[in-house]
Amino acid sequence: MKAFALLGRRGTPEAAALAKEIRERYPDRVVKAEKHLAEALGWPPPDSDRALIAGADLVIVLGGDGTLIRAARLAAGRPIPILGINLGSLGFMTEVSRAELFPALEQVVAGQYKIDARMKLSCRLTRAGKLMVEDEVLNDVVLNKGALARIAAHETTIDEEYVTTYYSDGVVLATPTGSTAYSMSAGGPIVHPALDCIIITPICPHALTQGPVVIPPDRVIRIELKSETADVYLTLDGQAGHALRSGDRIEIQRSPSRVHLIRNPSQGYFRVLRQKLHWGER
C-alpha cells in the first residue's frame, strides 16, 4: 500500500485530527484527502470526488457507515481496499475502532489483512422507454412514499415472471450487507454478507401475507410503479434520491463489481451483531 486516500465524516473535528495523525505517521503514503480534510492538512482540494480515489491503492474512511458507503460509491467498481475507522454512533461496516486504527494500519501496510468482497446491486430507472438513472448500491435500493400517507402499487416481476403487486408504503431491495439496515427495520431477515442473494422486503404491505423473500443473485427484478400518486421516491444507498412517476420501471440485478472491505481480525460478524445491534440479548 503506497498511496492512501482519506475520506472523513463531514463536520467532525475528530476526522480532521486523525487525518493529520495519519499524514504525520505516513508522510510519503497519504496522497489525497477530500476537501474538508485537505483544508485541515493545508492541501489544495482534489479536482473532484472521483479524482480523490484515482491513483490511490487504499481508501481510509474516518467516520461511520454513511461515509463508508460514500467511499464505495466513489470507487465506482474499482477493487480498491477500504479500511473503515468508526467515528460514528453505530459503525456496523466501519469495524475498526479509533484505538485500533494504527495497529490495523500497520498490518495493512505490511500486507497482513483479509478482504470481504461485498456484493453490490445495479439499478436502472426507465421512464417511457428512456433511461433516467443508472447506478450501483452496496446496501439497498428503496422505493418509498414521501409525506403523503398513501400506499402505492408496485408490480413486481422476476426474470419476466409476474410475482405480485405490493400495495405498500414501499419496497426495499437489499444486498446481504444491507440486510441489517432499512430492510431489517421493515421486517426483513439478517443475511450473512458472505452469501450472494437479493432480499425483497415490502414496507408496511396492505396484505399481511406479503412478507420478505430472498432470491438467488442471478435473477433480474423489475418493479413498475402502477399508482398515480406523485409522492414516491427511489433512494439509492440513502445517498441519492429520485422522484418517481406512474409507469416508471426499476430494474435491479447483481452488479458485476464488488466492494472490497478490509476486515478487522478482532471482530467476527456475530460479535459485531451482538455489539452493534444487541442481537440475541434478552
Q: Which of 28, 65, 218, 237 is catalytic?
A: 65
Contact 85, 265 (CB under 8 A): no
Q: What is the pairing mode between strands 58-63 and 240-243?
A: unpaired
Number of DSSP helices (H) and strands (E) in the chain, helices first: 7, 16
Sign of CA pseudo-dihedral 139, 143, 149, 151: negative
Task: Kindly give, in sequence order, each residue whose CB lies less than 8 Å from that of residue 185, ignoring residues fewer than 6 positions away.
Answer: none
Strands 4-8 and 30-33: parallel
Task: Please report where in the chains the cell 439509492 appears, as a residue.
Answer: 236
| Alpha-carbon span 121 to 96, nearest angstrom | 25
**Annotation says 116 is catalytic:** no
> What angle (nearest 5°) sits at the alpha carbon of residue 181, between those of residues 273 and 8?
90
Any idea which residues carry the catalytic annotation?
Answer: 65
